[in-house]
Amino acid sequence: MRSVSVVGVGQLPVRKQATASLRELGVRAAQLALEDAGVDRVAVLFAGNMLSDELQGQKHVATLIASEAGLHGIEALQVRAATATGAAALRMAYLAVASGDVELALAVGFEKMSTAPPTSALAKAMDAELEVPTGATLISQNADLMRAYLERYDVAYESFVNFAINAHRNATMNPYARFQSEISAKEVLESRIVNAPIRLFDCSPICDGAAAVVLAPTDAATAFTDYPVRVLTGTVATDWLRVEDRPEPLAVEAARLSAQKAYAQTGLTPDDVDFFEVHDAFSIMACLLLEAAGFAEQGHGWRLAAEGEIFREGRLPIATLGGLKARGHPIGATALYQTCEIVQQLTGQAGTNQLAHAEIGMLQSVGGAAATVLTHLFAA
């Protein structure tokens, strides 16, 4: 396998209701990434979109975007891993270049969640026969996890508020973010209960957006950009699809296995990671991933939030440009936004949110209730 770098990025502002159509979102993000790389052609496009079948009545979106983005005739495939779909597109693009099969690959994610209420379509990430008929949703499954966590480790809900405060503070300086205002602990604590103990600010929002990246072999990267960022690895691991089948749901085994593979493949350890673009779709998931990826002992992830270690000036900054919670989580696009943000941090282009020390960045993306987890590591 050869070394791979990000050589072009493109992102559109995440909005509650984009005026652009689904295809316009995907095409525009793809074109922005191509322009950034200074190319008008790639060999392959991998499309990340979870919900268009149900919300827009549109399948076959990879070919749709390729043809409308001026890439007629190229290989174009849709990739899916439920709510980790964008990361799956990124991994396929990474493998296509790393294997030597192609010289340039495009991963583009786009999602228009606002077209119709997406909750039942999102729930299809779970077991349709055994979980969905009980009324379970991704929100209720995360609420179950949070309730179990608070009880098992005897932690107060208040210990989680910094996950939301940090994300919303970091989003204020990100022009692509869905939310642009800081929030206080009082606002978090007084926000409405969505599914106890989860409150509104524990959740990522329903939103629309698109983002894309172009990948090339590292030894050719400077032909496309002055600011290449290496993709050190991309890994995937899975768990039992049904949470109730897992012997230890709070251990988030797929995240642990995926992170361990990434560390083993790169020779890095959690101590080497300077910042973590975590899948903070819910506060509890951010906490569990901090533990599973090796940044805290099980039962102690909340401390990194409560003690401010997740802030930009802390030991392990997370959600440095707003995270899923405040930049937004337009599902198929999310991991591509995270990749764009990691590139910004590693190349000194994160503006006011620039971290003082950013050499290694980690991305984790979670499918469903952590049944599929992808980990990517990046270096300047």
Both tokens assigned to 271? 């101590």
Site string for ligand COA, 325-354 (x = CB under 6 A): ----x-------------------------
Residue 266 C-beta: closest distance to ligand COA, Å: 26
Q: How many CB atoms lie within 10 A of CB 80?
A: 17
Q: Is 121 a binder of ligand COA (CB under 6 A)?
A: no
Q: Is 61 a binder of ligand COA (CB under 6 A)?
A: no
Dmax over Cα atoms in the chain, in whole Å? 57
Q: Is 203 a binder of ligand COA (CB under 6 A)?
A: yes
Q: Is 5 a binder of ligand COA (CB under 6 A)?
A: no
Residue 329 C-beta: closest distance to ligand COA, Å: 6
Residue 281 C-beta: closest distance to ligand COA, Å: 4
Q: Which residue lies nearer to ligand COA by CB, 345 or 375? A: 375
With CB under 6 A as the rule, give the number of residues binding ligand COA. 15
Residue 191 C-beta: closest distance to ligand COA, Å: 7
Give Cα separations from 10 to 203, 327, 339, 355 (angstroms): 25, 15, 10, 21
| Chain mean position to CA 133 | 28
Residue 241 C-beta: closest distance to ligand COA, Å: 15
Stretch touching ligand COA by CB under 6 A, among 51-59, 89-97, 194-202, 267-275: 194-202
Q: Which residue lies nearer to ligand COA by CB, 140 or 225? A: 140
Q: Is 281 a binder of ligand COA (CB under 6 A)?
A: yes
Q: Is 138 a binder of ligand COA (CB under 6 A)?
A: yes
Q: What are phi and psi of 352, to 5 degrees?
A: -60, -25
Both tokens assigned to 319? 């959600």
Q: Is 200 a binder of ligand COA (CB under 6 A)?
A: yes
Q: Is 194 a binder of ligand COA (CB under 6 A)?
A: yes
Euclidean distance between CA atoms 370 and 43, whole angstroms? 32
Q: Is 42 a binder of ligand COA (CB under 6 A)?
A: no
Are 4 and 35 in contact by the 8 Å Cβ rule? The answer is no
Q: What are phi and psi of 20, to 5 degrees?
A: -70, 150
- Provide the pairing of β-strand 208-217 with 360-367: unpaired
Q: Is 139 a binder of ligand COA (CB under 6 A)?
A: yes
Q: Is 145 a binder of ligand COA (CB under 6 A)?
A: no
Site string for ligand COA, 291-330 (x = CB under 6 A): --------------------------------------x-
Stretch touching ligand COA by CB under 6 A, among 34-42, 44-52, 87-95, 195-203: 195-203
Euclidean distance between CA atoms 198 and 325, whole angstroms? 13
Residues at the site binding ligand COA, with contacts judged by CB under 6 A: 16, 83, 119, 122, 138-139, 194, 200-201, 203-206, 281, 329
